[in-house]
């Protein structure tokens, strides 16, 4: 299915901007056909984040409602966060789950790593399924408590129509989990 091509040669890279959350890099490339192009990319190589799909029971996912500065509004999604230094995806997912949802998980499974815009963003997130939940709360870095919203995964089609559920990672994660658990229609 995959046609393996020779990667372009990197002629030069230059950091253009750094902030607490974003890093912008300019890359000059030469392709195998001789064409040269300059690209700018955000957060190259950043793949140290998790998004957790917490299953309260065999059919109910726990969503969270939180404020998103990027959209200047509250939105419905899944618990997520950056992996701390030394953490793997499983450890980070369980920590984020305890901080944001107040549950831990006895069974965590990394499903897939996703990217939003590979053409210009290096950000990737590890999607982790959390099952066999138990109550445990850790103090996190959220400015306010997140609202927990239990939702039947069988009704994913209705959730997609909800005006405040639109984070692409969360949409993809829930479809993967719904199909994995055999809850599709």
Domain range 49-180, its CATH number among 3.40.920.10, 3.90.79.10, 3.10.310.10, 3.90.1150.10: 3.90.79.10
Mean pLDDT of the chain: 93
**DSSP 8-class letter at 56:** S
Nearest one of 75, 79, 56, 67 to 151, comparing CA atoms: 56
Query: How far is residue 20's CA from residue 76's CA, in Å, rounded to a whole number?
Result: 25
Domain residue extents for the chain: 9-42, 49-180
pLDDT tens sequence across 47-94: 789 999 999 999 999 999 999 988 999 999 999 999 999 999 999 999
Q: pLDDT by residue (tens digit) across 94-109?
A: 999 999 999 999 999 9
């Amino acid at each position: 299915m995959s046609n393996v091509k020779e990667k372009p040669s990197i002629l030069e890279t230059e950091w253009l901007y750094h902030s607490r959350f974003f890093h912008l890099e300019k890359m000059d490339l030469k392709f195998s056909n001789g064409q040269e192009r300059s690209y700018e990319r955000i957060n190259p190589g950043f793949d140290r984040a998790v998004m957790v799909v917490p299953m309260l029971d065999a059919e109910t996912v726990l969503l969270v409602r939180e404020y998103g500065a990027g959209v200047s509004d509250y939105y419905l999604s899944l618990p997520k966060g950056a992996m701390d230094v030394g953490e793997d995806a499983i450890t980070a997912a369980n920590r984020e789950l305890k901080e944001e949802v107040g549950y831990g998980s006895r069974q965590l499974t990394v499903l897939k790593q996703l990217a939003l815009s590979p053409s210009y963003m290096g950000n990737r997130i590890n999607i982790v399924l959390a099952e066999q939940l138990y109550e445990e709360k850790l103090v996190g870095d959220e400015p306010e408590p997140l609202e927990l919203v239990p939702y039947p995964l069988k009704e994913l089609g209705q959730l997609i129509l909800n005006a405040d559920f639109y984070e692409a990672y969360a949409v993809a994660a829930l479809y993967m989990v719904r199909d994995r658990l055999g809850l599709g229609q």
